[in-house]
Amino acid sequence: MKVIEKIREAAKEDRTVFSFEFFPPKTEDGVENLFERMERMASHNPSFCDITWGAGGSTADLTLDISNKMQNMICVETMMHLTCTNMPVEKIDHALDTIKQNGIQNVLALRGDPPHGQDKFVQVAGGFACGLDLVAHIRAKYGDYFGITVAGYPEAHPDMISSEGGVTLENYLSDLAYLKRKVDAGADLIVTQLFYDTDIFLKFVHDCRQIGITCPIVPGIMPINNYKGFVRMTGFCKTKIPDEITKALEPIKDNEEAVRAYGVHLGTEMCKKILSHGIKTLHLYTLNMEKSALAILMNLGLIDESKISRPFPWRRPANVFRVKEDVRPIFWANRPKSYLSRTLGWEQYPHGRWGDSCNPSYGALTDYQFMRRRSRNKKILEEWAVPLKSVEDVKEKFTNYCLGKVKSHPWSELDGLQPETLMINEKLGQVNSKGFFTINSQPAVNGEKSDSPSVGWGGPGGYVYQKAYLEFFCSKEKLDALVENCKGLPSVTYIAVNKQGERVSNVGPIAVNAVTWGVFPAKEVLQPTVVDPVSFMVWKDEAFEIWNKGWGVLYPEGDPSKQILNEVQNSYFLVSLVDNDYVHGDLYAMFSDI
């Protein structure tokens, strides 16, 4: 979706929105840490996040890659910066075509600064001379597909500012007139350069309106995180520093913590003043750090750690091709990235109902589905690569995970147990200790408020429901006992399958079962997760493969632990169990005599 549409929607509802800017880190570890931070920050529902384009195109490939993952894996509306410095038109089009294919609809079109070591921008042969050229090119070549943002300079562009600071009225007005040309050429949003004098920003907005710029102007707020960085950045941008800020920083400049606390205070006060003037959008230059940006938003009451609301039980992708998607099989609940990658090629995504999925064309399993972030690799190695003497040791690992003693899990891409799982973790621990190795579950819910912190989704005002669900591996012997118990419990449906595809079930091969649904004011009933037997047969290959590629792979070749895991993989069944009586059912009772 275009950011401008989101901002307009929010304006209609008189809602304040905010966004976060990141830059591509220099190392692989840095990139991985950034994704973790983005995931946390994205859970606060920013209207978008943007990623910068390194000076002179130095980060082109990385910026493209990060943009793609932001949009499609972190699932946050993404705006990619694109500069024309050092960029022939073919390279610019390659970047735009790439993000278009990846379902990204937002670009921040810039001229760019000269690469390190050069002090003047040089137009490449056949390239563009300024941001305006780039805006015009995007509109001419891509029509209305992209939402285009441009940079605005409340104190005028640094080139217009004299070395002593300050800008002539003539230069300021010429800068404004040029900004209007960028908007007239097709930009629909302005994000400003950082500033620390809020009055200058407010005057800039007023002056823009006077010359007929009507699009939203989003203030770029850079929280002061550290004194030296602040001095460097404001020096580079020739930013005016009000005296009171200099005075406040001088005595604390060597105390990082005090500087950061002041930065949060100052950022909060600046935003309060901006909001009090009716401006409802804030853009935070995070410098890839989360604390100060989040603290400011918390001070403003725009976010609340305890009220992170989920639009769905799973995170909805921002990709323009998937915006209508609202149903998924429950099996990938703990492996959303894998699900996204295996469904990437779908032309349509289930909307309203899962429907007839007799032949869902899931992408083939590749190594991609088993790749882990480095930090997760470390954690899994630490927690799971322990010598196994028998299946008893396997049982202990699964049990400890449910009891919170182990934080990582080979079958999960998520960090630890989810809030709703914590409601049933003791029961799960007991089931695991009986030799049912659980990998997915949800408790029964009968009409909880949709903003409940543990099971809510879809925002306030509605009610959510779900059937108790449990998915696990167990031996044939345990499965037989379970099947026997199910005979006396008509509300329980199950599908079990082993690695070889031998199937045991009391439901038809295509009977789809909605296991989560929500009732909201003035809306049709939503049913975002289903148990679909056809998809289960696809999922089972992935689930069985994890014994080897997620866990066994942690041991050296020939290690006896590998053998134990192989035996489980080859002889156990994967079982999906639903208690359809979400009002009175007790799914866990059926394990009591096993």
**Segment 346-351 long-range contacts (CB within 8 Å, at least 24 positions apart):** 349/321, 349/322, 349/324, 349/325, 350/325, 350/326, 351/324, 351/325, 351/326, 351/327
Task: Note whether 154 binds ligand FAD by CB under 6 A.
Answer: no
Q: Which two tokens stand for residue 84?
A: 């024309």
Give 58 or 491: the residue with its C-beta nearer to ligand FAD. Answer: 58
For 114, the enclosing helix (H) or strand (E) is none
Smallest gap, in angstroms, from Cβ of residue 170 to ligand FAD? Answer: 11
Give 225 or 432: the residue with its C-beta nearer to ligand FAD. Answer: 225
Give 239 or 412: the residue with its C-beta nearer to ligand FAD. Answer: 239
Smallest gap, in angstroms, from Cβ of residue 61 to ligand FAD? Answer: 15
Task: Note whether 216 binds ligand FAD by CB under 6 A.
Answer: no
User: Is residue 52 a contact partner of residue 23, using CB atoms and an 8 Å limit?
Assistant: yes
Catalytic residues: 21
Please give the size of the binding site for ligand FAD, defined by CB under 6 A: 24
Task: Note whether 302 binds ligand FAD by CB under 6 A.
Answer: no
Site string for ligand FAD, 80-119 (x = CB under 6 A): -x-x------------------------x-xxxx------
Identify the CA nearest to 586 among candidates 452, 464, 470, 417.
Answer: 470
**Under DSSP, is residue 231 helix (H, G, I), strand (E, B) or coil?**
helix
Task: Note whether 160 binds ligand FAD by CB under 6 A.
Answer: yes
Which position among 17, 34, 151, 439 is part of the footprint of ligand FAD (CB under 6 A)? 151
Integer CA distances (angstroms), 258 to 145, 194, 265, 292, 541, in order: 45, 21, 10, 12, 54
Give 121 or 411: the residue with its C-beta nearer to ligand FAD. Answer: 121
Smallest gap, in angstroms, from Cβ of residue 113 to ligand FAD? Answer: 5
**CA pair distance 323, 300, nearest whole angstrom:** 30
User: Is residue 284 a contact partner of residue 293, using CB atoms and an 8 Å limit?
Assistant: yes
Integer CA distances (angstroms), 524 to 70, 355, 357, 395, 462, in order: 30, 16, 21, 43, 11
**What burial letters (b/e) apply to 282-304, b meaning 16+ CB within 10 Å?**
bbbbbbbebebbbbbbebbebbe
Site for ligand FAD in 441-500 (CB under 6 A): none
* CA angle, residues 553, 556, 559, in degrees to nearest 5: 105
**CA pair distance 258, 493, nearest whole angstrom:** 59
Among the candidate windows 1-9, 152-160, 364-372, 557-565, which touches ligand FAD by CB under 6 A? 152-160
Give 111 or 397: the residue with its C-beta nearer to ligand FAD. Answer: 111
- How far is C-alpha 360 from the chain's CA centre? 25
Task: Note whether 238 binds ligand FAD by CB under 6 A.
Answer: no
Smallest gap, in angstroms, from Cβ of residue 185 to ligand FAD? Answer: 10
Task: Note whether 175 binds ligand FAD by CB under 6 A.
Answer: yes
Site for ligand FAD in 184-203 (CB under 6 A): 191, 193
Task: Note whether 131 binds ligand FAD by CB under 6 A.
Answer: yes
Give 233 or 594: the residue with its C-beta nearer to ligand FAD. Answer: 233
**CA pair distance 39, 28, nearest whole angstrom:** 17
Q: Bridge partners of 504?
A: 496
Which position among 153, 204, 227, 572 is part of the footprint of ligand FAD (CB under 6 A)? 153
Which position among 178, 321, 370, 520 is part of the footprint of ligand FAD (CB under 6 A)? 178
Which position among 11, 130, 248, 507 is part of the footprint of ligand FAD (CB under 6 A)? 130
User: Is residue 81 a contact partner of residue 55, using CB atoms and an 8 Å limit?
Assistant: no
Smallest gap, in angstroms, from Cβ of residue 140 to ligand FAD? Answer: 17
Among the candidate windows 7-15, 128-136, 207-215, 583-591, which touches ligand FAD by CB under 6 A? 128-136
Site string for ligand FAD, 18-57 (x = CB under 6 A): ----------------------------------xx-x--
Residue nearest to ligand FAD (CB): 131
The torsion region of residue 141 among left (phi > 0), alpha (psi -120 to 50) and beta comes to alpha
Site for ligand FAD in 321-380 (CB under 6 A): none
Give every CB contact of residue 300 below 8 A, 6+ residues apart in sequence. 16, 268, 271, 272, 275
Strand boundaries in 55-127, DSSP class E: 78-83, 106-110
User: Is residue 525 a contact partner of residue 464, using CB atoms and an 8 Å limit?
Assistant: no
Smallest gap, in angstroms, from Cβ of residue 87 to ligand FAD? Answer: 11
Give 155 or 532: the residue with its C-beta nearer to ligand FAD. Answer: 155
* Residue ranges in contact with ligand FAD by CB under 6 A: 52-53, 55, 81, 83, 108, 110-113, 130-132, 151, 153, 157, 159-160, 174-175, 178, 191, 193, 220
